[in-house]
């Protein structure tokens, strides 16, 4: 399941099931510090994968230049609905 961060003070989240990634490609990560915007969905991906191209049915806008995760092995994407 992938969830956006709640807008500050609201306590409401927007979540969806069925992301087509895997631990070998991309996984939802709602704890990413780069995605503090209330409308953003966080994903941690291995090199050469992007959540938007991995599962085009999501119709998310993801950056072309992700942030290197603190673990040094993954890339963090902060994606927004269209």
Tens-level pLDDT at each residue, the chain (82 residues): 566 655 555 555 566 666 667 888 888 887 887 777 667 888 899 988 888 878 777 777 888 788 999 999 999 998 887 7
Which pLDDT value is given to residue 30?
79
Number of domains in the chain: 1
Cα distance between residue 28 and residue 56, in whole Å: 15
**What is the model's pTM?**
0.75
Q: Return the DSSP state at 51.
A: H
User: Residue 35 sits in which domain range?
Assistant: 2-79
Q: Where are the beta strands (DSSP E) in 1-82?
A: 2-3, 15-16, 26-28, 41-45, 67-68, 75-79
């Amino acid at each position: 399941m992938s969830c956006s961060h709640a807008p500050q003070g609201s306590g409401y989240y927007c979540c969806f099931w069925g992301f087509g990634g895997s631990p070998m490609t991309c996984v939802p990560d709602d704890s990413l510090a780069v995605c503090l915007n209330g409308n953003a969905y966080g994903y941690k991906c291995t090199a050469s994968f992007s959540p938007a191209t991995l599962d085009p049915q999501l119709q998310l806008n993801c950056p072309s230049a992700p942030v290197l995760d603190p673990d040094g092995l993954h890339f963090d994407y902060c994606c927004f609905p269209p």
